[in-house]
Chain A
Amino acid sequence: MAWKATDIRGVDVEAQETPALSEQTVSEIRALFDRYPTRQAVLLPALHLAQAQIGYLPPKALLEIAGLLELAPAQVLDVVTFYEMYWRQPKGRKLIQVCRSMSCELCGQVGLLDAIKAKLGIEEGQTTPDGQFTLIAVECLAACDKAPVVLVNETLHEKVAVKDLDEILKPE
């Protein structure tokens, strides 16, 4: 994960007048300031809030967060690139996260992932051309007694069979 440099290009920030973070997001971030002894500790929650608002974390949002938390932009980028759940590129409206760990593999995850790929016509890590779905395989989601599991945005689908895919992969 973290140490595998997948994107070593510099980061360009678009020059635009309007801020990336909404006033509401900024006030939600500020509300966390007195919950932690340092500003830096607010970084993970702030990134979650920004991503919830925008859908991913564009460079401008990272800069604004750095400003709010009094951090160097590099510190923010350092953290963003370490964690799996932060997206630096836009993703589909529905993020399909198929668990690929041990218990799910024992319970038929491989066939399920293949069926999802065939249905959406994309490979792991890709987004459908209409921007509806992004498909990724993730590590254990801690629901192994309900294997195989698929997390779609914030909803966990349990004991998923190929016949359930029509329901799970309904476009929004």
Chain B
Amino acid sequence: MPDYEPILTAGVARTDIDVRTLEGYRAVGGWATFARAIRETQPGQIIQTVIDSGLRGRGGAGFPAGQKWKFLPADHPGPFYLVVNGDESEPGTFKDRLLMERNPHLVLEGIAIAAYATRARYAYVYLRGEFHRPYAVMAKAVAECYAAGLFGQHISGGDYSLDVQLHRGAGAYVCGEETGLLESLEGKRGWPRIKPPFPAVKGAFGKPTVINNIETLSCVRGIVERGAEWFKSIGPAHSTGPKLIGLSGHVNTPGVWEMPMGISLRELIEKYGGGMRGGKAFKSCIPGGASVGFLTPDQIDMTMDFEGPRKCGLLGLGTACAAVMDETVEIPRILYNIARFFSHESCGQCTHCREGTGWMEKTLLRLLAGGGDRGDLDLVRKLADSMGMMPGMSICGLADGAAWPIKTAIDKFRGEFEALCAPRRKAIPAPAGH
């Protein structure tokens, strides 16, 4: 894409300056938008601009970011909080890491503008505990911002004050769920909360709270600087703005790149991924983190945007980081890996998820070991239908994410699973006389 101007990764490839430093980031025009915003703009104007831009959340669910901000009560005495979700743990996802490691000030400027727009006095940035390197880079950037007076009391002599605190998680996927994250931030087990009340009304420490993903907030500076129309001009309708899209698995050059949404998976693999590794045939792909489900070989032309994956029977775009599988992959084996993950990460609050994910893992293992039959296959498939928020059986979406790969894998690759099943046991002949 030679005509595409990078926004999220602007300047990260430059060798003459280092945008990870405050000085380098300022050299590419950084922090000017925040300064202008708090001087010249009202919070409500910024929220309207973000709504008009069509910015949708980049964390997986794709909820309109501006709408989330608008849900905050107008007459609450505060304090309000902004919580930033950097708990990137969805298997196959590696995009927020890039932003935090390579462009931390863009993330922080987006946070600062969003905090101003949502009247937040405090912003907590929750990074997963295993993110040692991103934490180190972000901590340095936060310290630079405090030293330069960009954070703290009465920023630039004005009325607005903002404190930004990095907060490390400690290894729990469920803390990426927004209310699980809030519980964790409060110093508790990361157990998702029953909603309503939604975080906008009663969030962190019982106060109105907005929670956004790292990449979502990284879009905010561009929107406020250049306007909603400019943002909407990037990518297809309903999938506006720049996006980080990644490739891992069986391609020649895995990586993560910034581009408009709407690119087909085929083009992504050929143009960015350098084609399939070893020239092998494409078999399947999980295009947005483990929970979105599997594609069939003929769904390779799926578009990477908010609409494309649903048309292919997937849960959604997810995180737009695709794991590509070639013809050598045994789908039941990868499905077992995913089932093991969700069984391990279920928080244990809801029965269907706690028990269901465990039995999915065990049953798939039995199938792989050759000890299962077709009844097991049907049982697992039925179990998948009964789990999650969609059938109304759990508090959070983890169970939906656990069920979707099972549904898509068994429906789309049933033959492979049946091949693992033992032949039906012979019926025991009835005793004589009956």
Instruction: List A residues at the B interface (Cβ < 8 Å).
Output: 1-4, 35-38, 40-45, 47-48, 69, 78-79, 82-86, 97, 100-103, 105-107, 138-147, 151, 154-156
Q: Which B residues are in CB contact (< 8 Å) with A100?
A: 337
Query: Chain B nearest CB: distance from A17 CB in Å?
Result: 29
Query: Cβ of A45 and Cβ of B167 under 8 Å apart?
Result: yes
8 Å CB contact of B250 from A83, A106, A143, A155 = A106
Q: Does B402 have its Cβ within 8 Å of any Cβ on chain A?
A: no
Query: Cβ of B334 and Cβ of A2 under 8 Å apart?
Result: no
Query: Chain A nearest CB: distance from B83 CB in Å?
Result: 12
Q: Does B109 have its Cβ within 8 Å of any Cβ on chain A?
A: no
Known: A103-B323, A144-B323. A82 touches B286 (CB 8 A): no
Query: Chain A nearest CB: distance from B189 CB in Å?
Result: 4
Give A140's nearest chain B residue, CB to CB: B91
Query: Cβ of B347 and Cβ of A140 under 8 Å apart?
Result: no
In the complex, A102 Cα to B167 Cα: how many Å? 27
Q: Does B412 have its Cβ within 8 Å of any Cβ on chain A?
A: no
A-B contact count (CB 8 A): 156
Give A156's nearest chain B residue, CB to CB: B133
B343-371 interface mask toward A, CB cutoff 8 Å, 1 = contact, 0 = none?
A: 01111100000100000000000000000
Known: A48-B170, A85-B170. A139 touches B344 (CB 8 A): yes
Q: Which A residues are in CB contact (< 8 Å) with B212?
A: none
Query: Cβ of A48 and Cβ of B129 under 8 Å apart?
Result: yes
In the complex, A139 Cα to B169 Cα: how many Å? 14
In the complex, A147 Cα to B256 Cα: how many Å? 13
Q: List 14 A-B contacts (CB under 8 A).
A: A1-B344, A1-B345, A1-B346, A44-B184, A78-B189, A84-B172, A101-B341, A105-B334, A139-B341, A140-B290, A144-B94, A144-B246, A147-B254, A154-B132
B157-201 interface mask toward A, CB cutoff 8 Å, 1 = contact, 0 = none?
A: 000000101011111110000000000111111100000000000
Query: Cβ of A102 and Cβ of B290 under 8 Å apart?
Result: yes
Query: Chain B nearest CB: distance from A3 CB in Å?
Result: 3
Interface centre among B96, B132, B188, B333 (most CB of A within 10 A): B188
Q: Does B317 have its Cβ within 8 Å of any Cβ on chain A?
A: no
8 Å CB contact of B170 from A37, A83, A102 = A83
Known: A101-B337, A102-B91, A145-B94. A38 touches B168 (CB 8 A): no
Q: Does B130 have its Cβ within 8 Å of any Cβ on chain A?
A: yes
8 Å CB contact of A147 from B130, B184, B248 = B248
Q: Which 6 A-B pairs have the closest CB atoms?
A: A3-B348, A84-B171, A43-B187, A83-B170, A144-B248, A40-B187
Interface centre among B93, B131, B248 (most CB of A within 10 A): B248
Query: Cβ of A36 and Cβ of B165 under 8 Å apart?
Result: yes
Query: Cβ of B168 and Cβ of A103 under 8 Å apart?
Result: no
In the complex, A38 Cα to B187 Cα: how many Å? 9
Query: Cβ of B329 and Cβ of A106 under 8 Å apart?
Result: yes
Query: Chain A nearest CB: distance from B272 CB in Å?
Result: 11
Q: Does B247 have its Cβ within 8 Å of any Cβ on chain A?
A: yes
Q: Which A residues are in CB contact (< 8 Å) with B96?
A: 142
8 Å CB contact of B334 from A84, A106, A151 = A106
Query: Cβ of A86 and Cβ of B345 under 8 Å apart?
Result: no
Query: Cβ of A44 and Cβ of B348 under 8 Å apart?
Result: no
Beyond A44-B167, A44-B168, A83-B190, 16 extra complex contacts between A and B, CB < 8 Å: A1-B346, A38-B187, A45-B167, A79-B188, A82-B172, A83-B170, A102-B286, A103-B249, A105-B337, A106-B249, A107-B248, A140-B92, A142-B128, A144-B254, A147-B254, A151-B132
Query: Cβ of B187 and Cβ of A42 under 8 Å apart?
Result: yes
Query: Cβ of A40 and Cβ of B337 under 8 Å apart?
Result: no
In the complex, A123 Cα to B93 Cα: how many Å? 28
Known: A3-B347, A101-B92, A139-B89. A82 touches B248 (CB 8 A): no
Q: Does B205 have its Cβ within 8 Å of any Cβ on chain A?
A: yes
8 Å CB contact of B345 from A43, A139, A144, A151 = A139
